[in-house]
Structure 1
Amino acid sequence: MSYGDPNNPYGQPQQPPQQPGYGYPQQPGQQQPYGYPQQAPQGVPPQQPGYGYPQAPQAPAGYGYPQQPGYGMQPPYASWGQRFLGLLVDMLVFLPPYIIVVIGGVSKIWALVIVGYLAVLGVAIWQLVREGSTGQTVGKQAVGIRLVKETDGQPLGFGLAFVRRLAHFLDSIACYIGWLWPAWDPKRQTFADKICSTIVIRTN
C-alpha cells in the first residue's frame, strides 16, 4: 500500500508555482523576468545620462532678440522716425567741415577750402569705419539704433558698409521713395538694405 507523497498526504494534485505577470507586485528577493521594467531601489536617485550620452538639441540662439508671443524670434526693428533722427544727427556732424569750406570760398582762401573738403572726407571715412565695425554712426548711437546683417545680427564690416552706402543711390532716385520705404516695410528696410541684406534694430 502506497502512502503517496509525504508532503502531499491527501493526494491533491500539485500545481506548478506561478511567475508574477507584468505589473504584479515584486516580492523581495525575487528576480524579475526578462523584459520586465526595472525599478530603482528605494532611497537611490535615478541615474543620469553619462558622459557622451546624446543630449536633446538646443534651440538656436538666433540674434539674441527677445521672444515675441506668437511670432518666434523677432528682431526689434528700428522705426522710420528713429532712422530719420539718426540721419539728421549724422548730417550735423558734417556741419563744421562744411563751414570751413564756405568760409574759405567766401574769403577766397583756397587752402582753407581744400582743408575743409579733406575734413569732410575724413569725417565720412570715420563714420563708415564706425558703422562697419560697430553698426553705429554717431547719429545711430545717439538715437539708440544699430545696423547689422539680417542673417546673423553681426556688424557689416567696412566693405559691405561701403557697398550699402553706394546702394543708397537707389533710394534717392524716383523722388527719394527708397528713404521713405521703411515707414511701411515689414522689416523697416530701405532699398539699399534689401540689396545688402541688412536691417536696422533698436539697442534699447
Structure 2
Amino acid sequence: MSFGDPNNPYGQQPQQPPQGQPGYGYPQQAPQGVPPQQGYGYPQQGAPQPGQPYGAYPQQQPGMMQANSGYINVPGLGTVQVASMGRRLGARALDGVVIGILYFIFSAIGVAGAMGAAESAEDCGSYMDPGYDACVNEASAGIIAIAFGSLLVFGLITLLYEWLMVAFVGATLGKMVLGVKVIKENTGQNPGLGGGFIRWIIPMVGAFVCIGQLLVYLSPFFDNSGKLQGWHDRAAGTLVIKK
C-alpha cells in the first residue's frame, strides 16, 4: 500500500490551504480592491459599511476637515487648503494701504473744497456790509458740507470696495496679491451680495465698540474647528481658502 511520498514520515500528502484563505507559513494576499499598504486580516480605519463590496471605502464628506492637515473638502471644489492667518492678515494690511490711499485722495479733495469756501467767506467784505452775516453763514455751511460729503463718499467707496469685490470676485486687491479667496462653505461659490455684506458689516459694527473690529479680524485664532473661521465668517457662512 502506497501512502504517497516515501520521504514523508507520516505517509500523507501535505495539505494545501483552502483557496482564498491564508494558511500558516503561506504569504497572505489582500483581496482584490484592497490597497496593499492597508494589510489584510486587520481592521482598518474607513472600512466598508455593511452591504458595501469589500474594498469600497467611504469618501470624505463635504465640509469635513482632514485632521491636522489644514485641508477641507468643499462641495464643487474638492479638497482645498484653508488660508493661513499670516496670509489673511497680510492681505488685510495691503487693503489698509489701498484704503489709506483713497482716504488721502478724498481728504485732499475735502481740504481743497474747504479752502475754496473759506476764500469765499473772505470775499464777503466787512461785517458792516449788508448781507455779510448771510454770506459768512453760507460759506461756513459750504465748508461743513464739503467735509461731510468727502467723508461720505470715502465711506461709500470703501464699502463698495470690500463688499462688492468679495461678493462677486471673492477677493479684494490685497487678497488677490497674497492668493487668498473667500467662498461660501456649503457651495464653494463666491459669497454673493448677502454673504459679502454680512462679512463686511460685522467688523464695522465692532469698530464702534473700542477694539471690537480688531477682535473680529483676530477671531479666527479662537476657532478650534481647524477652519480658521472668524465671527464674520460664521455669520456669513464663508470660508477663506488659499487659491
Give TM-score, length-normalised by structure 2. Answer: 0.48
Partner of 2:238: 198
How far the C-alpha of 1:89 sits from its partner, in A, is 1.3
SS of the residue 1:135 aligns to: coil
Task: Identify the residue that residue 90 of structure 2 maps to in structure 1.
Answer: 85
| Pairing partner for 1:147 from 159, 182, 191 | 182
Among 203, 216, 228, the alignment partner of 1:168 is 203
Q: What stretches of structure 1 of length at least 5 have no aligned partner?
A: 1-55
Question: Does the 8 A contact of 2:195 with 2:238 survive in 1?
Answer: no
Aligned positions, number: 145
State the match for 1:188 in structure 2: 228
Partner Cα separation in structure 2 for residue 170 and residue 123 of structure 1: 15
Q: Percent identity?
A: 25
Q: How far off is 1:120 after superposition?
A: 4.6
Superposed displacement of residue 150, structure 1: 0.9
**CA positional deviation for 1:75:** 3.6
Cα distance, 1:144 vs. partner?
Answer: 0.5
Where do 1:31-180 residues align within 5 Å?
Answer: 73=73, 74-107=79-112, 108-109=114-115, 110=143, 113=147, 114-115=149-150, 117-169=152-204, 173=209, 175-176=211-212, 177-180=215-218
Whether the 8 Å CA contact 1:181–1:189 is kept in 2: the answer is yes
Query: CA 1:106–1:134 in 2, change beyond 3 Å: closer, same or farther?
Result: closer
Letter in 1 for 2:218: L
1:179 deviation in Å?
2.1
Is the CA contact (8 Å cut-off) linking 1:97 and 1:120 kept in structure 2? no
Cα distance, 1:134–1:61 mapped onto 2, change above 3 Å: farther
CA RMSD of aligned residues (A): 3.6
Paired residue secondary structure (2:166)? helix
Q: Tell which deviates more after alignment, 77-86 or 98-107.
A: 98-107
| Residue pair 1:79, 1:182 contacting (<8 A) in 2 also | no
CA offsets, 1:6-41, max 9 Å, x none?
xxxxxxxxxxxxxxxxxxxxxxxxxxxxxxxxxxxx
Specify the structure having the higher radius of gyration (Cα).
1
